[in-house]
Amino acid sequence: MIEVMIVEGAKEVIHGWAWFFFVGVVLWSLVLPAIVRSAVLTAVSVVCLGWALMFVSTIEFVTALLIADWAGFLLHLSMGIALAVSGVLVGHSRSGLGRG
């Protein structure tokens, strides 16, 4: 004897299946070019990471200057320097893509 299990979805999913299908198609349309051009996507993500590190380092420097009397001044200052150096190094590492 064969047992059949009937699974019912949530009412929102049943009534909104077209939206889920649309979101799936949009995501696939974004993923396929990213897979095809993965080197370009990697370069773009590295540049974005470098800019983000530089932005956060600026925030750390400003925080260090605003709390100059506080004991955490050196911590924020050293963190800002470390983030700035990391941002510069990450930004310059993108020039090595595609070589090898």
Q: Are 73 and 64 in contact (CB under 8 A)?
A: yes
> Domain residues for 59?
11-96
**Can you tell me the mean pLDDT for 57-71?**
86
Q: For a pLDDT cut of 90, what percent of the chain falls above it?
A: 31
* Nearest by Cα to 53 from 94, 95, 72, 81: 81
Q: Does 71 map to a domain?
A: yes
- The yes-or-no verdict on residue 3 having pLDDT over 60 is yes
Structure tokens that stand for 55 in this block? 């932005």
DSSP 8-state symbol, 37? T
pLDDT at residue 100 above 70?
no
Question: How many domains does the chain divide into?
Answer: 1
Largest CA distance in the chain: 79
Q: What digits encode the pLDDT tens for the residues 12-55?
A: 767 777 888 999 999 999 889 888 888 888 888 888 899 999 99
Domain contains 3: no
